[in-house]
Amino acid sequence: MIQPASPDLVTVNIDGREVAVPKGTNMIEAARRTGVDVPYYCYHPKLTVVGNCRMCLVEMGTPAVDPATKSPVIDPTTGKQRINWSPKPTIACATTASPGLHIRTTSPMVKDCREGVMEFLLINHPLDCPICDQAGECKLQEQATGYGRGYSRFIEQKNVKPKRTVLGPRVMLDDERCILCSRCIRFSKEIAMDDVLGFTDRGSHSTLACYPGRRLENNYSLNTVDICPVGALTSTDFRFKMRVWFLKQTNSVDTESSVGANTVVWSREGTVYRITPRQNDGVNDTWMADSGRALYKEVRSPSRLDTVRVGGVESALDFAVKSAAEIFARGGVAVVGSGRSSVEEQFLTRKMADALGARAWLVSRLGEGDGILVSADRNPNVRGALVTGLVKALPSARLDSLGELIDSGTVTSVVSVGEDLAAAGLGAGRLAKVSVVYVGTHANATSAAARIVIPTLTVFEKNGTFINQQFRIQRFGRAVPGLAGATDDLVVLARLAEAAGGPRLGADVGSIWAQIAAEVPALGAMSYGTLPDTGLLIDAGPWAGLPFAEGASLHFRPASAAPKEAATRG
Ligand code: SF4
Ligand code: FES
């Protein structure tokens, strides 16, 4: 047996190949490291192990030891320590690596076990794959092909269980398809902290249900749909809308709070159909909130801005920029940036403010954090505004100081990058005193009052980065083409910065990053193209003393909580 390189590793033998794995690794994961696939249903790397599907059965052997002397028993034919193979199969998910442990994953016994388990799972399962929403990502279908017998011996009547059971506002259950893996039950209890699901009845009549008087309506309910290995749990929003193999997947980031959960946006021919979580063990594991999954609806919202307007009249972008230049030339300009803008947009907003010699404001958006994946800071990128130097302090929810400057006549025009100034405390009276240049995606009181309106793109229609609560910079990609009539924010901001008297700037992410790397010390060693899919932590030191709003969440502990936590542990 090879000696592991570190005391934290143990050497196990999988189908004759030795591999060193960290202590505590279960044999499904150990096999995965050697490229061996052990099929499973109930196991999930982020949930407790219950071992109730039996799909992961393997043969297991342990090194033989003389009970009297405790010394290894050597096999005279091989000259190696003899392996005592257990006469019965063992579940790999609940077997953790121990020194010298052997497993066989392809023996006739294992093949027989898998065929038996598949046969049991399928006897009451409906054969409705052609109309099932899970087609294309169904583990039962895949593993029936890979490990099943290939034919059914079941001639009895199948059980009839409830169909189209509404578990909650976003999740529908087809009980006939449920293979009783209990992943959804464990997720609700262990991650969502909402113990709402359980099994009723026994044997093949076991049925998943909500506890009496309860509904699956927590803000994480759709994760049960993601992890259901079959088509039993479906999303009421997505079901029957589109076959998954037609959909293009684009990596993105959840913008509903500063957590920055990693996501995949699924789209086809310019339409987004669903958003699901993307694994990032440092941020969101494999989960995301339901609220973040509905954000794609903003792309097709009836309130989308799709026409450049100057003085209420439909116009061209060139004319709008020229008109903005005339407003800028009069002086007295203030810039309101956004914690929803990307790092690149905030950088260009800062360049525009610098060229104007104007002060930049930001608007905070605070709510209650849920301690899981929605934080108190509902802006995804306040850290980006700090890092790019757009602002030096944390924002407040109201623009009262800007309002006073408007009242005093010091500020006579305001550029708003996507912020509704009216909602931030600048009432209609104040907005009437200034010329507003509004750069944004959706209509609001500010766009209605603006002298110049330039429609831009939603996060689903452009590329960029956000910096989350951990100071982790994360990339998002363009899933669908921009709305006709809207212009990329980077193009608009670069042109406005030039209209403000600044130099001509690149208006694509690549060239802006060349400038960011040269001018923003915290991002100096990076480039957009080489950022890992799971993001990169940057040095938060310069901003460590700021009183950020976030409390603890899944993988985040606020700096102010660290001493207390350390004391508790000590
Ligand atoms: S509904 Fe899906 S996740 Fe829940 S127990 Fe049944 S098969 Fe497992
Ligand atoms: S994955 Fe091991 S018993 Fe289900």
Residues of the chain above pLDDT 70, percent: 97
Rounded Cα gap, residues 1 and 22, in angstroms? 16
Rounded Cα gap, residues 29 and 90, in angstroms? 15
Answer whether residue 563 shows pLDDT above 70: no
How many CA atoms lie less than 13 Å away from 393 in the CB half-sphere?
Answer: 5
Rounded Cα gap, residues 345 and 494, in angstroms? 9
Rounded Cα gap, residues 432 and 280, in angstroms? 47
Q: Which two tokens stand for residue 174?
A: 């087809």
In terms of phi and psi (left: phi > 0; alpha: psi -120 to 50; beta: otherwise), the region of 203 is left
Rounded Cα gap, residues 342 and 340, in angstroms? 7
Ligand 2 atom showing the smallest separation from residue 40 Cα: 1
Q: What are the pLDDT digits (tens) for 334-375?
A: 999 999 999 999 999 999 999 999 999 999 999 999 999 999
Q: What are the pLDDT digits (tens) for 267-306?
A: 999 999 999 999 999 999 999 999 999 999 999 999 999 9
Answer whether 274 contacts ligand 2 (Cβ < 6 A).
Answer: no
* Residue 4: pLDDT band with limits 50, 70, 90: low
Tell me if 254 sits within 8 A of 289, measured CB to CB: yes
Rounded Cα gap, residues 439 and 450, in angstroms? 10
Ligand 1: which residue has its CA nearest to atom 6?
Answer: 178
Choose among 382, 446, 460: nearest CA to 417: 446
**Helices 489-499 & 317-329 angle (0-180, nearest 10):** 40
- Any idea what the Cα angle at residue 232 is, between residues 231 and 233, rounded to 5°? 95
Sequence letter at residue 512? I
pLDDT at site 525: 84
Q: Classify 370 as helix, strand or coil.
A: coil
Answer whether 121 contacts ligand 1 (Cβ < 6 A).
Answer: no
Write the DSSP symbol of residue 511: H
pLDDT at site 569: 33
pLDDT at site 520: 96
Q: Classify 16 as helix, strand or coil.
A: coil
Rounded Cα gap, residues 552 and 155, in angstroms? 55
Answer whether 522 contacts ligand 1 (Cβ < 6 A).
Answer: no
Of the listed ligands, the closest to the CA of 226 is 1
- Based on the number of CB atoms within 10 Å of its own CB, is 297 exposed (0-12), middle (13-18) or buried (19 or more)? exposed
pLDDT at site 568: 35
Ligand 2 atom showing the smallest separation from residue 181 Cα: 4
- Based on the number of CB atoms within 10 Å of its own CB, is 354 exposed (0-12), middle (13-18) or buried (19 or more)? middle
pLDDT at site 456: 98
Q: What are the pLDDT digits (tens) for 120-166?
A: 999 999 988 999 999 999 999 999 999 999 888 999 999 899 999 99
Q: What are the pLDDT digits (tens) for 469-503?
A: 999 999 999 999 999 999 999 999 999 999 999 99
Distance 208 CA to ligand 1 centre (A): 7
DSSP class per residue in 44-66: -TTS-----S-TTEEEEEEE-B-
9 forms beta bridges with 22
* Residue tagged 């002086």 (tokens): 331
Choose among 214, 222, 208: nearest CA to 162: 208
Query: For the stretch 507-526, what's the b/e string if a residue is b when 16 or more beta carbons lie within 10 angstroms of its beta carbon?
Result: bebeebbebbeeebebbeeb
Ligand 2 atom showing the smallest separation from residue 54 Cα: 3
| Ligand 1 pocket test target in 122, 178, 216, 235 with most atoms within 8 Å of CB | 178
Torsion angle of C-alpha atoms 77, 81, 87, 93, degrees rounded to 10: -140
Rounded Cα gap, residues 563 and 332, in angstroms? 46
pLDDT at site 204: 86
How many CA atoms lie less than 13 Å away from 295 in the CB half-sphere?
Answer: 21
Q: Which two tokens stand for residue 205?
A: 């009549």
Rounded Cα gap, residues 316 and 310, in angstroms? 9
Of the listed ligands, the closest to the CA of 179 is 1
Choose among 62, 61, 152, 57: nearest CA to 108: 57
- Name which of 2-11, 16-25, 240-249 the model is least confident about: 2-11
Answer whether residue 13 shows pLDDT above 60: yes
* Residue 241: pLDDT band with limits 50, 70, 90: very high
Answer whether 40 contacts ligand 2 (Cβ < 6 A).
Answer: yes
Ligand 1 atom showing the smallest separation from residue 233 Cα: 1
Answer whether 113 contacts ligand 1 (Cβ < 6 A).
Answer: no
Write the DSSP symbol of residue 30: H
Rounded Cα gap, residues 226 and 177, in angstroms? 15
Answer whether 216 contacts ligand 1 (Cβ < 6 A).
Answer: no
Answer whether residue 93 shows pLDDT above 80: yes
Ligand 1 atom showing the smallest separation from residue 227 Cα: 3
Which residues have C-beta within 8 Å of that of residue 345, sequence separation ≥ 6? 338, 417, 464, 489, 490, 493
Ligand 1 atom showing the smallest separation from residue 183 Cα: 3
pLDDT at site 1: 61
Answer whether 91 contacts ligand 2 (Cβ < 6 A).
Answer: yes
Q: Which two tokens stand for residue 168?
A: 């909650």
How many CA atoms lie less than 13 Å away from 361 in the CB half-sphere?
Answer: 26
Q: Classify 555 as helix, strand or coil.
A: coil
- pTM for this model (two decimals): 0.94
pLDDT at site 559: 83
Ligand 1 atom showing the smallest separation from residue 197 Cα: 4
Residues of the chain above pLDDT 90, percent: 92
| Mean pLDDT, the chain, integer | 95
Tell me if 485 sits within 8 A of 306, measured CB to CB: yes
Distance 93 CA to ligand 2 centre (A): 5
Q: Work out the end-to-end distance of the chain between its first and last CA atoms, rounded to an integer number of angstroms.
A: 39
Answer whether 181 contacts ligand 1 (Cβ < 6 A).
Answer: yes
Sequence letter at residue 401? S
Ligand 1: which residue has its CA nearest to atom 2?
Answer: 228
pLDDT at site 269: 97
